[in-house]
Amino acid sequence: MYGKAKLPAAYIWVPPILTVTSTHIEYWDTITKTTAKMSARLRFARPLVPDSSWSLRKLYANGKVIYDGTSGYRQKGLNFRFYDGRSTQGRDPTMVAEEGETNVCAHRGYIDLVVSNFDIVGLGAPPVFEAEIIQDGVAAVDVDSFQTFYADTINTFAAVDWDSSSFYGFSDSSSMIRRFSIGFLRELYAIEINGLGRAYTSIAENLFRYIPEIDRLLAVGSTPGFLGGAWPILLDPVSGTSVAEAVDAMFHIGLGQSVNASVSLMIGGTGILMASSFHIGYVSIYTFTADSITRMSISGASWDARGRPECLAPGEIRDGDADIWICAGNSLWRNTVNTSGLTTIVTEHATFVDAPVYAVWHDDDVIVWTDNLEVIRIDGVTGAVVWTVAVPYQIPAASLRSLSPPDSNRLDDEFFIQGTLLYYFTNLDTGLTRTIAKASEVSAWRHVFDGVTNTVVTTDNFAVPQRRLFDASGDGTQRQLSDFLEALMAAGGFDPAEIQTINIDDVIDGAVIDMTAGVRDIARAICEPYSIAIFERAGQIIFKRAFTGDAFVVDAVISSAGDIVDNP
């Protein structure tokens, strides 16, 4: 394959189909739903140019678009990894988990796609996959501003609803909850908060979450003065109504407390909110449902002398409890909390020379960033160091971050952070970091990252929100026919120095060819309709078209001595 094309896929690996049964209550009936999940390795083509870069523009299942790289659209529940065949690409994690690492080959030399646990009933049984694939068609970053109803800035991190590809934000100046479509880059509606039980003056910028399981926004309101404090609030995202407000403040009243780090998660039908304070370092734990929120505990100062938590990251969630990973002092702590909001165990999982400042749970391990320009992978069971890698950026203390809390992001295999001049992507499997230069902006705006679609939503206190779409696939540029002919012959074993094109200025979109036919036969079939001659001269393969027309005739003659004609 060369340039760009739309190709059907061939199934080359399919593990056993997984049957998933779930039940739920609708009124007085128990509804049982059974779905069939299938994974597959799909092969599209072999790149004509070795180690060339390719991007997936669109993916189809039975003719329906299920992924669009130009806009970031991805059908709900669709998970896949795209491989363009470069020599640096390794094994696919889905295949490794199923077959074992020693039984899986790397994705090198072929354009492959591995789709994981897709619904074969919804997409087809099994569907015919097709893909639009483009060579060198990736834009480093596409920055677009959202169209808004109001000029008020968004003062919180984006609270993203991943299923609907939308996010909520809050504007302090107008006291409005505002909803935006990420795909369509426009504001959908704005509604003023109402029904509050206290005279809050602001909403905490770093604790604003959408909880899809109960369709609620979780926020923290602050009140000023000697008896002021911070209280969690549950908001209806459609009406703006305050559904529930905690009776007990997050931290001790009257101490000027603010949220330093926080995490929210669901254990079955019960929500857990844990937050640490900037001043003195208290930690509070709340439980919440769709219509209530209650404080279950509050710690002593500096989290009971362990240190002020700088990051709270969700870990494994089980039927009755969940792990929360905490960066405090010079240690990584494992805090297990149950559905009653009670901490059942706290253990020091690992210690560091430099203080840990941020962590994420990834493939049963914990990836930790310290305050000394390094990222460390910690075994989730033993606490042993798996690897340590230097990174070209420093994650600041929680109170100074533009980086959103771990549970606000949706990570896949990369972690994202932006500095003043560069975007950084750190691979969670290797610790290696790639960078993309910023075009004009020179600030690290408040941002939330979606690793599934490579999308970043930024909000700040001075401008409208923006979407940054990374590795976005464009339409692909047309290519010189002469470049294709040179690449074709090189793929057939000819040295580039042995190939020459003369007077060929035609352009093409792309080409899909059967290499088993032989490059000479392919070249002959391509050149004939263009009236391009093919011949050998002095050890070179020459592709030549004569200029014609009145006085512009240049050379239409093949030498009678030494030229071997292939396509006269």
Annotate 490-557 with three-state secondary structure.
HHCCCCHHHEEEECCCCEECCECCCHHHCHHHHHHHHHHHHCCEEEEECCEEEEECCCCCHHHCCCCC
Distance CA 374, CA 367 (A): 11
Least confident residue range of 74-88, 136-150, 173-187, 201-215: 136-150
| 74 part of a folded domain | yes
Q: What is the pLDDT of residue 7?
A: 94
Q: Residues of the chain with pLDDT > 90: what percent?
A: 62
| 562 part of a folded domain | yes
| 121 part of a folded domain | yes
E-strand spans in 62-148?
64-68, 73-74, 79-83, 111-119, 129-135, 138-145
What average pLDDT does the segment 215-225 reach? 90
Q: Which helix (H) or strand (E) holds 453?
A: none
Distance CA 218, CA 292 (A): 11
Task: Tell whether the model's pLDDT for residue 257 goes beyond 60.
Answer: yes
The values of phi and psi at residue 96, to 5°, are: -65, -40
| 55 part of a folded domain | yes
What average pLDDT does the segment 115-140 reach? 84
Please identify, among 136, 156, 189, the residue that sits at the C-terminal boundary of a domain: 136
Annotate 167-218 with three-state secondary structure.
EEEEECCCCEEEEEECCCCEEEEEEECECCCCCCCEEEEEEEEEECCCCEEE
Q: Do the Cβ atoms of 311 and 403 come closer than 8 Å?
A: no
Question: What are the residue ranges of helices labelled H in 345-480?
Answer: none
Please identify, among 136, 166, 193, the residue that sits at the C-terminal boundary of a domain: 136
Number of C-beta neighbours around residue 12 at 10 A: 11
At 367-404, the pLDDT tens digits run 999 999 999 999 999 999 999 999 999 999 998 999 99
| 311 part of a folded domain | no
Distance CA 280, CA 147 (A): 41
Number of C-beta neighbours around residue 408 at 10 A: 22
At 259-307, the pLDDT tens digits run 999 999 999 999 999 999 988 899 999 999 999 999 999 999 999 999 9
Nearest in space to 448 (alpha carbons), one of 215, 144, 206 = 206
Q: What is the pLDDT of residue 25?
A: 65
Nearest in space to 465 (alpha carbons), one of 159, 135, 51 = 159
Q: Do the Cβ atoms of 111 and 84 come closer than 8 Å?
A: yes
Nearest in space to 216 (alpha carbons), one of 195, 190, 242, 234 = 234
Extract the tokens encoding 525: 């079939």
Number of C-beta neighbours around residue 43 at 10 A: 17
79: alpha, beta or left, given left = phi > 0 and alpha = psi -120 to 50? beta
Which of 125-134, 245-254, 466-475, 538-547 reaches the highest mean pLDDT? 125-134
Give the model's confidence band at 543: pLDDT under 50 very low, under 70 low, under 90 confident, else very high: very high
Give the model's confidence band at 453: pLDDT under 50 very low, under 70 low, under 90 confident, else very high: confident
Q: What is the pLDDT of residue 199?
A: 86
Nearest in space to 274 (alpha carbons), one of 95, 405, 370, 153 = 405
Structural domain count, the chain: 2
Distance CA 398, CA 223 (A): 22
Distance CA 434, CA 424 (A): 6
Give the model's confidence band at 557: pLDDT under 50 very low, under 70 low, under 90 confident, else very high: low
At 401-435, the pLDDT tens digits run 999 999 999 998 899 999 888 999 999 999 999 99
Q: SS3 helix, strand, coil % of the chain, rounded to 5?
A: 10, 50, 40
Q: What is the pLDDT of residue 552?
A: 41
| 514 part of a folded domain | yes
Distance CA 472, CA 448 (A): 17
Say if strands 259-267 and 242-245 run parallel, antiparallel, or are unpaired: unpaired
Nearest in space to 323 (alpha carbons), one of 396, 407, 207, 231 = 407
| 102 part of a folded domain | yes
Q: What is the pLDDT of residue 559?
A: 55
DSSP 478: -
Q: Residues of the chain with pLDDT > 70: what percent?
A: 92
At 38-76, the pLDDT tens digits run 999 999 999 999 888 888 989 999 999 999 887 778 888
Expressed as residue numbers, the domain containing 491 is 479-567
Please identify, among 120, 136, 152, the residue that sits at the C-terminal boundary of a domain: 136
User: Looking at the DSSP assignment, which residues form a beta bridge with residue 191?
Assistant: 177
- The contacts found for 480-486 with CB under 8 angstroms, 24 or more apart, are 480/504, 480/505, 480/506, 480/507, 480/508, 481/506, 481/507, 481/508, 481/526, 481/530, 482/506, 482/543, 484/2, 484/3, 484/48, 484/508, 484/511, 484/526, 485/523, 485/526, 485/527, 485/543
Extract the tokens encoding 3: 């340039």
What average pLDDT does the segment 462-482 reach? 79
| 238 part of a folded domain | no
DSSP 153: P
